[in-house]
Structure 1
Amino acid sequence: MSNLDIKEFNIYRTVSTITKPIADSTHTISQIAFYVVEIISQGGQKGQGYLLSFHYSPNAIEGALKDLKKFVMERDFKINETIKIRQAWEAESEYFGKPGINANAGAALNVALWDCWAHTLEVPIWQLFGTNYTKIPVYGSGGWISYSEQELLDEVLDYKKRGFTAVKIKVGSGSIENDLHRLKTCRDALGNSVKIMMDANQGMKITEALDLAEKARSIGIQWFEEPVANTEFQSYQLLRNKCGIALAMGEREYDLEALKNLIRLNALDLWQPDLIRLGGVEGWRDSAALADAYGIPVLPHYYKDYDVPLLCTIKHPYGAESFDWIDGIIDNQIKIENGYAYPREGAGWGFYFLDKALTEVK
């Protein structure tokens, strides 16, 4: 038996300490919850990986994670066999399709395996892949449509007070005038020293997105995220040619097909890979390599505690998205100062979830 063999595979659920109902243009979210996969090697090293679940399909997610645990523990896998495990799980899951819940489960395991392997090697992830940067621009995310005007101002001004130099605001409320009012209110409060981005979460029609982009241009919008559905590639092409604001998308993708289509149409400015939907570290890095080959900077979706170290290893990182959701339930918050996030110095991803915050899934 090798020290690299997998000894334990544990599954936990945890909830953010700052959870409260929020909404964007397409979803109302009642709880900010996560699932954590924990791997312990025969050598005694521990690795963790988590996926954001909100309140959606807990029985389905837990079922997929339990199936994955049984699949892995019945086979002779080692913690460094991340590609082998991914390929085997994809083959096992193919009957129900490679995208979806099974892919999310496999990705959480992949992230945990990389953590465990890097702890075994006693190096941080960002050193394991080769370091290109030691700090990454970061922006404060939120600006939920469900916020009152005061809640919106409180959030963006708090980000500015904490040293953030960019914030993102949700649009797609159903009223262009309301979206513009919220954006202008934030600009007036923040001044010109803080960049403002807007995110429609695919909730707009092409005509609405064009109208908003045209009217918002004078406010100074850095980029427009997911203005329309992620499959409307020609709409992205039209918007990029006409709206005068950089376009960002990618967070809903489980493979590279959308990125290939958008590259072919010259319809994208910023690529937003989601580490978990893309299957884990290898999928994220494959997408970043493709984006880089065509000069498209990488601006990942949500997972800053993983994305910052990974962004440090590529050629053209644009920045990372920051939420505070796990900060109260982990043992080592990422350092953010003057608009930059710094990768942790510890081995692996550099943090673990607090034991007291975890509820085991059996």
Structure 2
Amino acid sequence: MTVNKDISIRDAKIYTAKTALKKPISDATHTLSEISFVILKIQLENGIIGESYLLSFQYSPNAIIGALKDVLPVIKGFKANETGVVYRKLDDLAEYFGNQGLLRWAQAAVNIAMWDAWGKYLNQPIQQLLGTHKEKVSIYGSGGWISYTVDELIEEVTNYANRGFKAVKIKVGSPKVSTDIERLRLVREAVGQKVDIMMDANQGMDLPSAIKLANAAKDLNINWFEEPVHHQDFQSYQILKNQTGISLAMGEREYDTLPLRELVTRNALDIWQPDILRIGGVEAWRESAALAKSFHLPVLPHYYKDYDVPLLCTISNGVGAESFDWVDPLIDNPMLVKDGYAMPHDLPGWGFNFLDDHLTEIK
């Protein structure tokens, strides 16, 4: 039997999918009315299909799908392993309307799907293709939405603790700082001292409020403060760090590493949190992690555990991943999470595929 070794991209299709959401959820800056995804599938000449997905919520569905439709004709004919070549090609084409923002998401989705196809062709998981530093990754349970009642908040964090998670993150940035302090106190009482607690303001606070909350958090043993203020307000990060000493985390909003470099020069960043779709895909994610290492900073990425855990296993300064369960019902091989650790998929490529029953094709 002859195996077709042609790994050129023959076709690509776009799909959408949704996860059930009982009611809208809110952080300090957004209200989410749906948990939705855009899925890209590329097919090689040999029949192998590489997949990627991005978290879209209810935002600009026509815009992101349009951006993907624009790049699909461009990538046909390139080989699955030519991820860097395709990235540069799409970067050149995006320059007129801007390399950052919406077009970067499409660029990254293509990159991630190509890596999946390449791994499947070689019959190797991503972490084995890139070299393995570790076999599992610490993971924390994320959520704690501001829109939750106290009962809903406590139910979520105790559920994480009961499942073996050693850390949880909750949202802050309520209209009153005293509300955030009380919710943090109740979470600490619920999970005890053996579970770490982090807080995330999603850029929703002003500097005086962030300082007040950071100082109050000392007594509650809060590990770190994520995106306390606008991600480009570097001076406020510096002042907050200098006045409170709290560990600061950010990176999920960034399309390049300029903010990382800017905050490091101000001694105002402790944890780098790249988002693989915004930063531009696998190579860009790893390049940012390498830069973080040069500054002796740990990497703890944003949201995409099914991509981040394999990649974290390939770097020496990867310290943990964020966990939501939203995508799990939609895929054939949900990631194993046990005793506070996530194990990378051991199947080829990213190690999972979306279930066809949950997908709606976009024509």
TM-score calculated relative to the size of structure 2:
0.97
* Paired residues of 1:19 and 1:325 also in contact (CA < 8 A): no
Deviation at 1:334, TM superposition (A): 0.5
Structure 2 equivalent of residue 55 of structure 1: 58
3-state SS in 1 of match to 2:96? helix
Deviation at 1:244, TM superposition (A): 2.6
In the alignment, the residues of structure 1 paired with residue 136 and residue 73 of structure 2 have an alpha-carbon distance, to the nearest angstrom, of: 39
In the alignment, the residues of structure 1 paired with residue 241 and residue 121 of structure 2 have an alpha-carbon distance, to the nearest angstrom, of: 46
Structure 1 equivalent of residue 225 of structure 2: 224
The correspondence for 1:65, drawn from 68, 80, 84, is 68
Structure 1 equivalent of residue 31 of structure 2: 28
1:95 is the counterpart of 2:96? yes
CA displacement, residues 74-100 of structure 1 (integer Å, 9 cap, x when unaligned): xx3111111111111111111111111
3-state SS in 1 of match to 2:6? coil
* Paired residues of 2:111 and 2:281 also in contact (CA < 8 A): yes
Structure 2 equivalent of residue 143 of structure 1: 144
Deviation at 1:197, TM superposition (A): 0.3
Deviation at 1:299, TM superposition (A): 0.5
Structure 2 equivalent of residue 278 of structure 1: 279
In the alignment, the residues of structure 2 paired with residue 195 and residue 306 of structure 1 have an alpha-carbon distance, to the nearest angstrom, of: 24
Gaps in structure 1 of 5+ consecutive residues? none
Structure 2 equivalent of residue 337 of structure 1: 338
List aligned pairs for 1:57-206, cutoff 5 A.
57-73=60-76, 76-206=77-207
List aligned pairs for 1:1-40, cutoff 5 A.
3-18=6-21, 20-40=23-43
CA displacement, residues 118-159 of structure 1 (integer Å, 9 cap, x when unaligned): 110110001110000001000000000011111111110110
* Paired residues of 1:141 and 1:168 also in contact (CA < 8 A): yes
In the alignment, the residues of structure 1 paired with residue 22 and residue 69 of structure 2 have an alpha-carbon distance, to the nearest angstrom, of: 26
* Paired residues of 1:19 and 1:31 also in contact (CA < 8 A): no
In the alignment, the residues of structure 2 paired with residue 120 and residue 195 of structure 1 have an alpha-carbon distance, to the nearest angstrom, of: 40
Alpha-carbon distance change, 298 to 283 in structure 1, aligned in 2, over 3 angstroms: same
Cα RMSD between the aligned structures? 1.1
Deviation at 1:72, TM superposition (A): 2.1
**What one-letter code is carried by the residue in structure 2 that aligns with 1:59?**
N
Gaps in structure 2 of 5+ consecutive residues? none
List aligned pairs for 1:183-332, cutoff 5 A.
183-332=184-333
3-state SS in 1 of match to 2:184? helix
**What one-letter code is carried by the residue in structure 1 that aligns with 2:324?**
F
* Paired residues of 1:123 and 1:347 also in contact (CA < 8 A): yes
In the alignment, the residues of structure 2 paired with residue 324 and residue 107 of structure 1 have an alpha-carbon distance, to the nearest angstrom, of: 22
Structure 2 equivalent of residue 357 of structure 1: 358
Deviation at 1:331, TM superposition (A): 0.3
State the identity as a percent: 54
In the alignment, the residues of structure 1 paired with residue 355 and residue 280 of structure 2 have an alpha-carbon distance, to the nearest angstrom, of: 25
* Paired residues of 2:50 and 2:114 also in contact (CA < 8 A): yes
More displaced 10-residue stretch of structure 1: 102-111 or 2-11: 2-11
**What one-letter code is carried by the residue in structure 1 that aligns with 2:300?**
L
CA displacement, residues 255-286 of structure 1 (integer Å, 9 cap, x when unaligned): 11111111111210000000000110011001
In the alignment, the residues of structure 2 paired with residue 197 and residue 2 of structure 1 have an alpha-carbon distance, to the nearest angstrom, of: 48
Structure 2 equivalent of residue 44 of structure 1: 47
**What one-letter code is carried by the residue in structure 2 that aligns with 1:70?**
P
Deviation at 1:242, TM superposition (A): 2.1
* Paired residues of 1:142 and 1:169 also in contact (CA < 8 A): yes
In the alignment, the residues of structure 2 paired with residue 71 and residue 20 of structure 1 have an alpha-carbon distance, to the nearest angstrom, of: 40
* Paired residues of 2:21 and 2:34 also in contact (CA < 8 A): no
TM-score calculated relative to the size of structure 1:
0.98
3-state SS in 1 of match to 2:145? coil
Deviation at 1:19, TM superposition (A): 6.1
In the alignment, the residues of structure 1 paired with residue 338 and residue 166 of structure 2 have an alpha-carbon distance, to the nearest angstrom, of: 10
Alpha-carbon distance change, 18 to 335 in structure 1, aligned in 2, over 3 angstroms: farther
Deviation at 1:18, TM superposition (A): 4.3
* Paired residues of 2:137 and 2:309 also in contact (CA < 8 A): yes
**What one-letter code is carried by the residue in structure 2 that aligns with 1:178?**
T
**How many aligned residue pairs are there?**
360
Deviation at 1:6, TM superposition (A): 0.5
